[in-house]
Structure 1
Amino acid sequence: MKLVIIKYNAGNIQSVSFALERLGVDFTITDQAEVIQQADKVIFPGVGEASTTMQYLRDHKLDAVIRGLRQPVLGICLGMQLLCRHSEENDTPCLGIFEETVKRFEPQPDKKVPHMGWNNLTLTANSWLDPALENKFAYFVHSYYVPVYAHTSALTEYTVPFSAAMHRDNFYAVQFHPEKSAEAGVLVLQSFLNA
């Protein structure tokens, strides 16, 4: 299997790489369109800010490459948010794979933003994730979220219920960091590799 991690200005490529190495999976990190398009599976990671990241993707023609992929693609954290239609973060048009708008958490007296920490997962009836992930805890670090809607595969809650994972066609996505989520993260990566 040819697995590719899309190389761009994402902050978690190294930690995703380590997680895959621990699983004994071979992969390539690249920004070359042909290599990405010829992969069997693609991981679209992400840590950072939506508008500058989308600008980078457009400048390097990676936005069109990602939209055109037909093999399984996994978006992680900001990668998941950028697969959506629009982000409230600096009013950013995104890739439009998922129809939802990414929203900012409203701080509350007992709930600071960004949301950082371990949350348990509730899987939806049509989830692509391993059923063993039900009620498992995953690690989140984010200020923006995707509301729960038709393509939600798992949900959790922080100030409001939100999508912890999503799926549409060949696109899979998680808001949390599988590479930092211990046993739950291993199950997520294995679910995607088996998709």
Structure 2
Amino acid sequence: MVNWSPTLQTAVSDLEVEYSEESGYLYHIKYRVAGRSDFLTVATTRPETLFGDVALAVHPKDDRYSKYIGMMAIVPQTFGRHVPIIADKHVDREFGTGVLKISPGHDHNDYLLARKLGLPILNVMNKDGTLNDVAGLYSGLDRFEARKKLWAELEETRLAVKKEPHTLRVPRSQRGGEVIEPLVSKQWFVTMEPLAEKALQAVEKGELTIIPERFQKFWWNQ
């Protein structure tokens, strides 16, 4: 998973991502339990990623939800797509409702959990920040416009519980200031240790000269 910049159309290194506290919302959304009249309410800051949900997770010792473990839930606005309700000890019972939507294509922690449990990974985002065909009728919409439209339609279908003010930790590109999108993407990565060792040897053997000489100390310390 990489830090993707929809504006720059490139992956951005961790060092170039700056986090800022910004005012936003926590959206509470109802997911129907398949075969029952019950609903589980999920709290999320990014409702537009629900098209990439592959599971709902609860803490195994959370008495509120233990009876639902092993059942299926229906993802809203997906024409009845079912996902499993699973248990994982890393779910924070105190955050939101205690029910976590797992969207491994757009969240690093969800990605790691999906890999651990063998869950599929769905990407709902094009590299320009619009939703792709996985999002159905929302395909082609900008991610933030999709968020607004989705919430309005959830309100119409009475699956929207509430939208409460929430302080967000927003990742932004140091270069352009745009909001970074966590994205599963094929990338090239280079192991630097062998290259660094050769660079050090080149200075030691006199094959590479550093000018001014006082910066050699900086070279050795990197």
TM-score range, shorter chain: under 0.3
TM-score normalised according to structure 2 size: 0.23
- Quick check: which has more Rg, 1 or 2? 2
Instruction: Using CA pairs under 8 Å that are at least 6 residues apart, name the structure with larger relative contact order, 1 or 2.
Output: 2
